[in-house]
Structure 1
Amino acid sequence: MAIQHIAIHIVKRDKNADPLFVKLRDEENPVSGLSGKLGDLLLNLFSEANLHKGEFGVKGDNSVAPYMEQKLGDYYDDSLEISDFIGMTRQLAENYRLILDGNVAIKGGYLVYYQYTKGDDIWFAIAIVPRRDGYDITDDDADVVESNLLEMNKLHLGAAINLSNWKLGLDSRYISFKTGQAKELRDYFENYIGCQRDKQAIKIETRRLRDAVRQHAKDLGLDDVAAQVKLDTAHAYIQQKLTKDKEPVLLSSVANAVFPDNPQEFVVHATDSFDLGEELTIDNSELKRYKKLSGNTRNINLSFDRILLGDSVVFEPADPDDEGSSDTLHISAIPATLKSAILEELAIRASEKVRVNELL
């Protein structure tokens, strides 16, 4: 990955309802001036697996081009050569200023626009970054000077557009973005990008990965128990990537973890039959569903595959109008070993009852 163009503009206010401070650059920031650490941060801002996905559109209509898509179309040709990067980003920053003029509760920040490559694709990204006031010491005179520090680790508004997929129409989810938690922030930023959020995309992709693992396990001749072990392995590996390593989840890596004997066979299967790409998006609620349903008390420990619920395992909730009723779980597909143990226990009890009666 490498950054080809970068421009940083300022559109911000310190407090709600304050006048905006606006400073737009006349020239691009020199790419050569990027420190290795900052460059790496920018390149990895949108590599997380739980980003929102979407496409351009206006009020649910993806045939209408929002302002940002229009500007991309004006400045990028069919070969994705950019005619005037600084000119385009100045117009995008001006549009951002107009949005903030109409919303005095949004503080804005440093607008970092940059173009980079990732694999064979060209991306255009925007990150709205807050600033922290601080101090630094000069090397020459050891003078204390004020310093403005960009807090890249606090980024909560940003988007990356896969220009290659957008231009060729290869994918309807070519925008990856993060918008923070507050609804007001989400709404204004999505309005600025002109992005329609595909709310189900991450759930669907996570579900497809689960189904691909289960189906491939069955194709290999594994029984239900062994197939569930594969899902447990996938769950543990993905959790590790998301929570501890904080790295993107790659299909090839999942294949190596779950099907180490022939990972490429699974990659082909998941790609061809389940339309999965190399970099996966993961929804945490769907990821939980890789695990069995389970629960225990001091005397009972029960677990079963989720796919069995409503089939061989049926739940009947208590009748809210009947105080004497209780929740009931019906299990029709009883494991042979459990059935044998139950029959053996019942036989022992029957025998003990007969002996007690004889003694009486």
Structure 2
Amino acid sequence: MSINNLIVHEIQKCEGEKKALLIARPNENPVDGQATLISAQVTNLFNRSGMNTGRFSNPSGSDTGSQLPNLLSKHFTNNIFADFSLFTKECAAEYLKYLEQVEEAEGGLLWFNHFELHDTQFLYIVLLKRKSGIVLSADLSLSQVDQIETEKLHMALRINLTAWQSNDEGRYIAFRFGRAPKFEKEYFTQFIGCDEPKVASKETKKLVDLTSAFCQTEEFAPKQANTFKKVVSEHCQSKIEDNEPLTMKELATEVQAKFSVEQANKFLDIANSDDFKMEKELFVEKAALKKLTRLSGSSRSLTLSFDADLLGESITYDSSSNALTFKDIPKSLLKQLQTLA
């Protein structure tokens, strides 16, 4: 990640009050080691579970609704912000309008970060909170200071500026909430002006179900099905690591390279069918993707989870009796069993 612009503004507002106060930083924060460290922490938190994706309801902007697209159109041209400080101040003032409509909401720190990754321009708008901390001075005395809370994320937005500016039809907006209550989620979504947001975990589950449905349609043997699922999983994992959305077209190309043109076309046909209606691109959530290559289940007294490719090898299933037989039991479990024998 190459940081181009960075600035933090503060919005002061107490719970139970409507009035909010914007304390705007006059110029950009320096992109130093501390800024780089916090940026990395924010990115790490952002890429965890709970992602929502979408696009602006009015990508070119309008007089009604969210003014964020208007502000971007006004300030962002040729991959640069003419005046990043002014853009963020106007953006923060717009955020203030939505915040003041909710008495229960509190203020915080608005973190604006314009960065470049893989020749693509991005913008973060993140709500951070303060917390109290203890520091030890040079004379070993203790004192209390205010710190930025980086252990958890409250609300955050990431815009793929390159995709938005090129009028891409994909879902160039990604946003997530930490443990924000419903009323905060609502005003933040209104501030963004997102069109029909999709939940990444649900979209990933659809992809897992699609892959299983394709394997059944092709009547793959268990080993073939596991091989196919691994190809899909590995391609998805690479997108997760690069913080990029998965496109169905790219995935079909991967299927074509590892299997055949016919199977790639069939895969896309099922993806576009009424049963699935997959988006052209989606953000994959790692936790939901695990179901593609692992089998698991639990009851009140039993939990089982294992790699799918063990089925038919060290684990066998008898459909007539609904029984699983395990070989090569993990040593830690085996020791526990032997003590009970």
Say whether residues 1:42 and 2:42 are aligned partners: yes
Say whether residues 1:184 and 2:183 are aligned partners: yes
Counterpart in the other structure of 1:152? 150
> Structure 1: 5+ residue runs without aligned partners?
253-261, 297-334, 339-360
In the alignment, is the contact (CA less than 8 A) between 2:42 and 2:153 conserved in 1?
no
Alpha-carbon separation, structure 2, partners of 1:263 and 1:146: 60
Deviates more, 1:207-216 or 1:105-114: 207-216
Alpha-carbon separation, structure 2, partners of 1:21 and 1:251: 37
In the alignment, is the contact (CA less than 8 A) between 2:61 and 2:69 conserved in 1?
no
Q: How much has 1:168 moved relative to structure 2?
A: 0.7
Choose the corresponding residue for 1:282, options 270, 274, 285: 285
Counterpart in the other structure of 1:226? 223
Deviates more, 1:188-197 or 1:125-134: 188-197
Q: How much has 1:217 moved relative to structure 2?
A: 9.9
In the alignment, is the contact (CA less than 8 A) between 1:46 and 1:176 conserved in 2?
no
In the alignment, is the contact (CA less than 8 A) between 2:9 and 2:110 conserved in 1?
yes
Alpha-carbon separation, structure 2, partners of 1:172 and 1:226: 34
Matching residue's letter, 1:152: T
Counterpart in the other structure of 1:265? 258
Q: How much has 1:196 moved relative to structure 2?
A: 2.6
> Structure 2: 5+ residue runs without aligned partners?
247-254, 272-277, 300-316, 321-341
Alpha-carbon separation, structure 2, partners of 1:62 and 1:39: 28
Bigger CA radius of gyration: 1
Deviates more, 1:62-71 or 1:175-184: 62-71
Say whether residues 1:135 and 2:134 are aligned partners: yes
Matching residue's letter, 2:226: V
Provide closer, same or farther for how the CA distance between residues 72 and 251 of structure 1 changes in structure 2, counting only shifts above 3 A: closer
Matches within 5 A, 1:38-117: 38-48=38-48, 50-57=50-57, 64=62, 66-77=66-77, 79-117=78-116
Provide closer, same or farther for how the CA distance between residues 117 and 270 of structure 1 changes in structure 2, counting only shifts above 3 A: farther
RMSD over aligned CA atoms reads 4.6
Alpha-carbon separation, structure 1, partners of 2:93 and 2:258: 50
TM-score (norm 1): 0.62
In the alignment, is the contact (CA less than 8 A) between 1:238 and 1:249 conserved in 2?
no
Alpha-carbon separation, structure 2, partners of 1:249 and 1:218: 31
Alpha-carbon separation, structure 1, partners of 2:210 and 2:72: 37
1:111-131 per-position Cα deviation (integer Å, ceiling 9, x unaligned): 101101121210011110111
TM-score (norm 2): 0.65
Matching residue's letter, 1:32: D
Provide closer, same or farther for how the CA distance between residues 294 and 27 of structure 1 changes in structure 2, counting only shifts above 3 A: closer
Provide closer, same or farther for how the CA distance between residues 153 and 171 of structure 1 changes in structure 2, counting only shifts above 3 A: farther
Q: How much has 1:41 moved relative to structure 2?
A: 1.4
Alpha-carbon separation, structure 2, partners of 1:159 and 1:205: 20
Matching residue's letter, 1:73: S
SS at match of 1:31: coil
Provide closer, same or farther for how the CA distance between residues 218 and 237 of structure 1 changes in structure 2, counting only shifts above 3 A: same
Alpha-carbon separation, structure 2, partners of 1:151 and 1:16: 22
Alpha-carbon separation, structure 1, partners of 2:227 and 2:214: 11
Alpha-carbon separation, structure 1, partners of 2:298 and 2:183: 39
Q: How much has 1:180 moved relative to structure 2?
A: 4.0
Structure scoring higher RCO (CA < 8 A, sep ≥ 6) equals 2
Matching residue's letter, 1:173: R
Provide closer, same or farther for how the CA distance between residues 66 and 226 of structure 1 changes in structure 2, counting only shifts above 3 A: same
Counterpart in the other structure of 1:164? 162
In the alignment, is the contact (CA less than 8 A) between 2:88 and 2:112 conserved in 1?
yes
Alpha-carbon separation, structure 2, partners of 1:174 and 1:267: 30
Alpha-carbon separation, structure 2, partners of 1:337 and 1:138: 68
SS at match of 1:281: coil
